[in-house]
Amino acid sequence: MTRATPSFLALAVVLGLPAAALAQAEAPATGGPSARAQCRAQVDSRSLTGPERKAAMHDCMKPQRDACRSQAVAKGLAKGPDRKAFMHQCLTGSLAQAQ
């Protein structure tokens, strides 16, 4: 069994997901769907539209964004094109798949 990352653990606790969902929540590290894809599927299942959908996506992605931002700061990436590219790769899961 794999360990869930703290950001996904917090997300699972907030959303009240069962333990089996925790294993699936770690999918970006194993080459599965990205955090964004998982959030999109979750929001789609709730049939949200408009501002409610945007708010739900924002809330769902916040732990992943915070984790990626922390990694960028740890790498010493200043705000700008390099950090923007890093954040995009981190949020789409392409960093986890490349490592």
Q: What are 34-70's pLDDT values in tens digits?
A: 788 889 999 999 988 999 999 999 999 999 999 999 9
- Evaluate whether residue 34 is within a structural domain: yes
**Of residues 82, 88, 37, the one with CA closest to residue 60:** 37
**Of residues 32, 64, 60, the one with CA closest to residue 45:** 60
- Evaluate whether residue 1 is within a structural domain: no
Alpha-carbon gap, residue 86 to 99, rounded angstroms = 14
The more confidently predicted of residues 7 and 86 is 86
Domains held by the chain: number: 1
Work out the angle at residue 89's Cα, subtended by the Cα atoms of residues 85 and 91, and round it to the nearest 5 degrees: 115
Range of the domain at 46: 6-98
- Evaluate whether residue 91 is within a structural domain: yes
Q: Which residue do the tokens 């080459």 mark?
A: 31
- Evaluate whether residue 79 is within a structural domain: yes
Q: Are 74 and 90 in contact (CB under 8 A)?
A: no
Q: Kindly report the number of other CB atoms within 10 A of residue 78's CB atom.
A: 8
Q: Are 91 and 36 in contact (CB under 8 A)?
A: yes
- What is the DSSP code (8-state) at residue 8? H
Res 91: pLDDT: 85
**21-45: average pLDDT:** 67
